[in-house]
Chains A and B, each alone.
Chain A
Amino acid sequence: MNFKNLKEYLAWLYYQYLLITGIYVLEPWEKSIFNSILFSVITMVIYTSYVFVPIHVRLALEFFSGIFGGQPESTMALMN
């Protein structure tokens, strides 16, 4: 399978997507419905992860460093 350019390769990838999800057998308007639903779901996932993942990661790191790093400090403070 030799692809002359990127466009042909992308067309083949789209064809594989149609075959694997089974959309290939559907009528064009059904394909559009499915594609738009899938596209909007993926967009929402990407947007949500862009907005929330850094915050969640920072909070998680603080939480874990609080567990491991916190204990020796408190006992030292008590002794002093």
Chain B
Amino acid sequence: MTESSANKLLNGDAYHRTSNGKRSSKNGFVKNHCVFQQPQKYRRPREKNQNVTRNSSLYKKPFSESFEETPLLVAVLTYMGYGILTVFGYLRDFLRYWSLEKCNVAQEKEKQKDFVPLYQDFENFYTRNLYMRIRDNWNRPICSVPGAKMDLVERASHDYNWTFEDTGRVVKDVINMGSYNYLGFAENTGACADAAIEVTKKYGLGVGSTRCEMGNLDIHEELEQLVTRFLGVESSLAFGMGFATNSMNIPALTGKGCLILSDALNHASLVLGARLSGSPIRVFKHNNMISLEKLLRDAIAHGQPRTHRPWKKILIVVEGIYSMEGSIVRLPEVIALKKRYKAYLYLDEAHSIGALGPNGKGVVDYFGLDPKDVDIMMGTFTKSFGAAGGYIGGKKELIDYLRRHSHSALYATSMSPPVIQQIITSMKIIMGEDGTTLGADRLRQLSENTTYFRKRLSEMGFIIYGNDDSPVIPLMLYMPAKIGAFGREMLKRNIGTVVVGFPATPIIESRARFCLSAAHTREMLDTVLDAANEVGDLLQLKYSRREQPRPSLGWMSEENLFQD
């Protein structure tokens, strides 16, 4: 059967079927009892092979993700583009070194030139020579609420992005496709804003202490009880900063004799927390359950590195939605593995809480699983609730332990009252406890927007990564010049997008990331889609080689001519 390059559906993919019988191998007993078997026959994968699973009964609805492979010609041209820019980077560095050109980068003073260099030249090579040239696509100042539409300060640069000046004008009503505003709670009018104003009048803004000392307000307790009810766990703890929640709590949970199994594409906060804890970290391939199972089996069979003692605990760290890929974690399989091998699960729902699931309760709700199966449920209030901060939910003993031992709980200033009130009001709206159907409407609007936008974009012929249900949509650009061109062309059409390049993504896989919101109306999405279509034709971004009915392009590009 020819492998159709359609999405990889879990239950219908006959190509990847493996035999169910036990096979004898060199490792004998150990290998035969794997929950997830490797595919026996190797074929050159058209799509990046996520994993093969026999347990389609774990999923109540089809799990369809797609990560279409980079077309070969595009990859070659991208490397060529980076090569040419590297040559010019060396040329400019040469001119700067020999003072033939003014150097705008930070430099050491004359009297320090004989010391060990303070600024490592090559580490900043990419920043100096590529990022600076297209820097106007990032850090754009916003001068209104970053809701569905926003106002941007117009900037101009006369020395090729080394310095910016305000022209004095404001670009009004730019459609915002970059803010993590999944449920549209980033607004300055409405129930949340009014409640926050009331609370400011009552408590003021600053707290002036940490939670342990004098900063524990009754509104903090109310928030934690509400979060507990929302998640369906026994107890929860709230922090002022989402990044600090991850990086300061993982060190409290694991230590020297523990093992952390972390997904390859985990966020920097999780990586930092894992490194700070001092435990050995092993990385499994992104969302790949076979890789995870192999690591678990090796860890249990071999124990700690030199002494071969058993690990004190094994912590699997995954995220709900990975914001750079738009993929959703395979939670039913992870939970099955965790139960089988008696490991603990740390789930970071920064992007998925409020955005997935029929009731907005995150990825656990989306798969219809029991929240008690996830040992540590972490999330942030920044994305769907329109506030700032993070939380951790779990068993009562765990949360009591964290209250006493987490750095963030002991030393960080507690959250500001209006922020807490924003979270309380928005959470009540999502749960439906405020008496209106606003929460349910927004959840439904978000999932409709997601389905519509993804379908239209992939029909147009772009390469879109990720799961069909995730509101984060990466659109592949690949070539370095197209990163800057895409951002600028979309801004000309009054649409603000986020483009991402090298350090955050692999070097050839640069992308533009759309974050949908329940506040986007169908008309706004159509405007964005038409603009994306235009820009896609102008920049020749429609790399997808899937057999889809597409309107014919006016002039064919070389990429399209190379379809096989």
Contact between A22 and B554 (Cβ–Cβ < 8 Å)?
no
| Stretch from A25-33, A48-56, A64-72 at the B interface | A25-33
A23 contact from B481, B539, B540, B553, Cβ within 8 A: B481
Residue of A at shortest CB range from B134? Answer: A25
* CB interface residues, B 46-87, toward A, < 8 Å: 77, 80-82, 84-85
Contact call A25/B539, Cβ cutoff below 8 A: no
How many whole Å from B373's CB to the nearest CB in chain A? 48
Q: B77 to chain A: which residues have CB within 8 Å?
A: 20
Contact (Cβ within 8 A) B85 A1? no
Find out whether the CB atom of B481 lies under 8 angstroms from the CB atom of A34: no
With A16-B540, A19-B482, A20-B81: A25-B130 Cβ-Cβ less than 8 Å: yes
Q: A20-B481, A24-B481 are in contact. Are A30 and B88 (CB under 8 A)?
A: yes
- Within 8 Å of chain B (Cβ to Cβ): is A75? no
Which residues of chain A come closer than 8 Å to B42, judged between CB atoms? none
Contacts of B557 in A (CB 8 A): 16
B84 contacts which of A15, A16, A21, A27 (Cβ < 8 Å)? A21
User: What is the number of residues of chain A that contact chain B, defined by CB distance less than 8 Å?
Assistant: 19
Most A CB contacts (10 A, CB to CB) among B82, B485, B557 go to B485
**A1-44 interface bits toward B, Cβ cutoff 8 Å, 1 = contact, 0 = none:** 11100000100100110111111111100100010000000000
Query: B443 within 8 Å of A by Cβ?
Result: no
Nearest-neighbor residue (CB-CB) of A18 within chain B: B481
**With known contacts A22-B84, A25-B130, A3–B481 Cβ distance under 8 A:** no
B539, A19: Cβ atoms closer than 8 Å: yes
Which of B160, B482, B554 is in CB contact (< 8 Å) with A27? B160
What's the Cα separation between A9 and B538 when bound, in Å? 11
In the bound complex, residues from chain A placing their C-beta under 8 Å from that of B91 are: 30
A23: B residues at CB distance < 8 A: 84, 481
Instruction: A24 to B538: give the CA distance in the assembly, Å.
Output: 14
Contact B84 A3 (CB under 8 A): no
Number of A-B contacts (CB under 8 A): 57
Nearest CB of A to B510, in Å: 12
**Residue B516 at the chain A interface, CB threshold 8 Å:** no
Q: Mark B339-354, 1 if CB is under 8 A from A, else 0.
A: 0000000000000000
Closest to A27 in B: B160
Q: Determine whether the beta carbon of A24 is less than 8 Å from that of B540.
A: no
Asked if B555 is at the interface of the complex by the 8 Å CB criterion, the answer is: yes
Query: Are A25 and B481 interface neighbours, CB within 8 A?
Result: yes
Interface contact A1-B554, CB-CB below 8 Å: yes
Q: How far is the CB of B537 from chain A (nearest CB, A)?
A: 5
Cα distance, A20 to B557, chains bound together (Å): 12
Asked if residues A19 and B481 are in contact (CB atoms below 8 Å), the reply is: yes
Kindly provide the distance from the CB of A23 to the nearest chain B CB, expressed in whole angstroms. Answer: 7
**Complex interface: chain B residues within 8 A of A27 (CB):** 160
Collect the chain B residues with CB atoms within 8 Å of residue A19's CB: 479, 481-482, 485, 539-540
Q: Are A22 and B538 in contact (CB under 8 A)?
A: no
Chain A's nearest CB lies how many Å from the CB of B439? Answer: 43
B84 contacts A1, C-beta separation under 8 Å: no
With the chains together, A1 CA to B538 CA distance in Å? Answer: 8
- The yes or no answer to B484 lying at the interface (CB within 8 A) is yes
Is B133 in contact with chain A by the CB < 8 A criterion? yes
Residues of chain A within 8 A (CB-CB) of B554 are 1-3
Q: List residues of chain B with CB within 8 A of the CB of A12.
A: 538, 555
A21–B479 alpha-carbon span in the complex (Å): 9
- Listed by A's residue number, 20 A-B pairs whose Cβ atoms lie within 8 Å are A3-B554, A12-B538, A15-B538, A19-B479, A19-B485, A20-B81, A21-B80, A21-B84, A22-B81, A22-B82, A22-B85, A22-B479, A22-B480, A23-B84, A23-B481, A24-B481, A24-B485, A25-B480, A26-B85, A30-B88
Binding site for A on B (CB under 8 A): 77, 80-82, 84-85, 88, 91, 130, 133-134, 160, 479-482, 484-485, 537-540, 553-555, 557
